[in-house]
Structure 1
Amino acid sequence: MAEQFLPHVNGVTHSVIRVLEHLRDHGHEAMVIAPSYEKTLFLGSVDHVDGVRIERIPSLPLAGYPEVRVASCTVSRIQRILARFAPDVVHVASPFVLGWQAIQAAKGLGLPCVAVYQTDVPGYAARYGASVLETAMWSHVRAMHNSATLTLAPSTASISQLHEHGVQRVHMWRRGVDTSRFRPAPRDHAWRERVGGGKRLVGYVGRLAPEKQVADLAAIDALPDTRLVIIGSGPGKESLRSVLPNAHFEGFLTGTELATAMASLDVFVHPGEHETFCQTIQEAMASGVPVVAVGRGGPLDLVDSSRNGWLYAPGDLAGLRERVRDLAGDDAKRLAFARTAHQCVQERTWGAVCEQLLGHYERAGTVTSRMRGTRRSGLRTP
């Protein structure tokens, strides 16, 4: 079950696709239940991605951010879908609306359910001016995840956050990185010249939305001898153009174009304080690019200050500026950090983390079997 899925591309979609690839390549059968998009708004549909069946649920666009869909249906409908497929475990990616229905459906059928915490929705609420809803949202998150057999969280910070809000049975499951795609080799000097005209390139990659705090990069927009590069799209794009008048906006990139752009940066920056993990930090490191990130949430596990990048205190934009200036202006230090960044992610492959995920599936199955006094084997994952 995926709260968001193709054609919308984000961290949740990316991790679901990599899990599906691993399951398929290792002989497991999978199905995805996900929101529909424009052409199937009311009717729903079934399609396939690389041989994996996708059961679409009618959805509506999120107000102000139409790329994100909000889907919901009755628990009984999801139970019927699950009953036809007869899974051994239900994997719920970043549950909130549709995922909550799936958790209830799995529980009603006596199926083990693994809920993957990937999005700090209560934290996002404050960034969207709805901080009054934060307490209610945490109550919802707690109820969802405590109804699941297991919860998987991607960082020590997110595990602590969940525990603080009363979520039980939380286990660590990090994200992998595609080191065959993200590597130093695609660095493109022609791209660098076009974008920066010989200046040091300081880049951000991700959604352009309030929760990412991209506007904080105004602190480095006019840093001497550097060019800020913004890669991505989202509802905040036009307002950011006025906040960051000196920046180059490259737009949304994927595949080899994204790998080339990432490797062509000199410093990677990420100012968002609500990251449960931050996949783009790993991709930058794999590309041989040192990182400057806010010292909160997922980046705390990824950035080892003074070795592969720098962390700065939340809200300390002067500190952000100083850390970027330090790396952009010191070739020897920047290259040393870049080498360490590249080395430290080489073992974090998707194959390795997906094998860990299979272990969590088995654990969830064992827990459920103990509760109902039976044991099931095999794996078919919706």
Structure 2
Amino acid sequence: MRVVIVTESFPPDINGVAHCALQTARHLAARGHDPLVVAPATSAGPGADAGAPCPVVRVPSLPLPGYPQVRVALPSRRVAQTVAAHRADIVHLASPFVLGVRGMAAAARHGVPAVAVYQTDLAGYARTYMGAGEGTAWRRIRGVHTAADRTLAPSTAALRDLEAHGVPRVRLWPRGVDTVRFRPERRDALLRAELAPRGELLVGYVGRLAPEKHVELLARVQRLPGVRLVVVGDGPSETSLRGTLPDAVFLGRRTGDELARIFASLDVFAHTGPYETFCQTVQEAMASGVPVIAPAAGGPLDLVAHGTTGLLVPPGDQDTVHDAVRALAADPGLRAAYGAAGRAAVADRTWEAVGDQLVEHYTEVLRARTAVAA
């Protein structure tokens, strides 16, 4: 199967869209398919794609004002040319918004079926950054996803949200997790001694440091006796968060085995963002055997079994986040039970299993197109 993956982000970018697109390309190549990626150009230079599992076509782009880590593709004929030159059987649109709209147009022009993967709560971001614009964001989302042969939602909450806003042909497709990289055995006594020299309980947040993540909700957590807050990631809110969380340890952006070592060395993982369509870091914490605290909204509702693998708290409620951390800090047996249950819950959610589900979605879409043509 010849697949063109049109993605709004791709490594070396570090975010959920880029990671999922990379894992998709890897799986397709490993299964003997022929993927090709179209993505915005990166500031990392021409060697950025040396380790990619398939060819990558870069489209000219500009950094997003105020958030240079995010790059926005500029108008280009390369998308349509690539779909035609690759003789694509299917076009995969990863979180389509700017480049994905052109990918959808190219698929339609060449009569190629398209599968659109919903990954970003753009309406929530519009509310956070502009205080308005949710309706405009949903019109954009509805337009591109309605044109696709199938939309794949990462969680039950996202699926219901899409259907409620009039998006047709929505199916569930979750995300995988690398259970070999992220595992409890990565726990590192030396790292723990470095981060908590007085034997403090380590509570960690991993993710972008941006307004929509609401990391400031951990302000009371950092003041709990015997607790050390660890923040991993970077982004436009880092400077303000360093002022809000003066007692926290900021480790910056970490990846790969180093990130896995940090995850496994935590005692509690706390996520605060209410706009997660899935929330990969929650799943990585669970794979690492770490109990999770997360908002009872969006993707975490599918991932966290309240009272079994962790605790769900009302979104945006600083006091309940504090109380949840305090409860887990006081009960090492409960932390161990939640951590073990979390690891067991994600044991079968490998990228291989999820990738095979994606190929089945492709196959069903192609069969439907063939039936209509017949």
Q: Give TM-score, length-normalised by structure 1.
A: 0.93
CA apart distance, 1:313: 1.0
**Pair 1:3 & 2:5 matched:** no
Tell me which residue corresponds to 1:190: 190
Structure 1 residues 365-376: aligned runs within 5 Å: 365-373=366-374
Inter-CA distance 48–276: structure 2 relative to 1 (3 Å threshold): same
Q: How large is the RMSD of aligned CA atoms in angstroms? A: 1.6
User: Secondary structure of 1:185's partner?
Assistant: helix
Inter-CA distance 305–358: structure 2 relative to 1 (3 Å threshold): same
**Pair 1:210 & 2:211 matched:** yes
Tell me which residue corresponds to 1:157: 157
Q: Give TM-score, length-normalised by structure 2.
A: 0.95
CA apart distance, 1:320: 1.1
CA apart distance, 1:218: 1.1
**Which whole-Å CA distance do the structure 1 matches of 2:347 and 2:209 have between them?**
28
Tell me which residue corresponds to 2:21: 16
CA apart distance, 1:51: 4.7
Residue pair 2:40, 2:61 contacting (<8 A) in 1 also: yes
Listed one character per residue, the Cα deviations across residues 282-331 of structure 1 (whole Å, up to 9, x for unaligned) are 10001000000010000000111110100011232211111111111111
**Which whole-Å CA distance do the structure 2 matches of 1:202 and 1:134 have between them?**
33
Gaps of 5+ in 1: 374-382
User: Secondary structure of 1:52's partner?
Assistant: coil
Inter-CA distance 189–48: structure 2 relative to 1 (3 Å threshold): closer
**Which whole-Å CA distance do the structure 2 matches of 1:365 and 1:251 have between them?**
43
Structure 1 residues 170-319: aligned runs within 5 Å: 170-197=170-197, 198-319=199-320
Q: What letter corresponds to residue 300 of structure 1 in structure 2?
A: L
Tell me which residue corresponds to 1:68: 70
Gaps of 5+ in 2: 1-5
User: Secondary structure of 1:175's partner?
Assistant: coil
Tell me which residue corresponds to 1:104: 105
Residue pair 2:25, 2:53 contacting (<8 A) in 1 also: no
Inter-CA distance 328–60: structure 2 relative to 1 (3 Å threshold): same
**Which whole-Å CA distance do the structure 2 matches of 1:352 and 1:45 have between them?**
31
Inter-CA distance 28–127: structure 2 relative to 1 (3 Å threshold): same
**Which whole-Å CA distance do the structure 2 matches of 1:336 and 1:132 have between them?**
43
Tell me which residue corresponds to 1:36: 41
Residue pair 2:214, 2:272 contacting (<8 A) in 1 also: yes
Residue pair 1:45, 1:56 contacting (<8 A) in 2 also: no
Residue pair 1:111, 1:368 contacting (<8 A) in 2 also: no
Tell me which residue corresponds to 1:341: 342
**Which whole-Å CA distance do the structure 2 matches of 1:323 and 1:37 have between them?**
40
Higher relative contact order (CA 8 A, sep 6+): 1
Runs ≥4 in structure 1, deviation > 4 angstroms? 44-48
Q: What fraction of aligned residue pairs are identical, expressed as a percent? A: 48
Tell me which residue corresponds to 2:82: 81
Tell me which residue corresponds to 1:379: none
Inter-CA distance 90–318: structure 2 relative to 1 (3 Å threshold): same
**Which whole-Å CA distance do the structure 2 matches of 1:372 and 1:48 have between them?**
40
**Which whole-Å CA distance do the structure 1 matches of 2:42 and 2:52 have between them?**
19
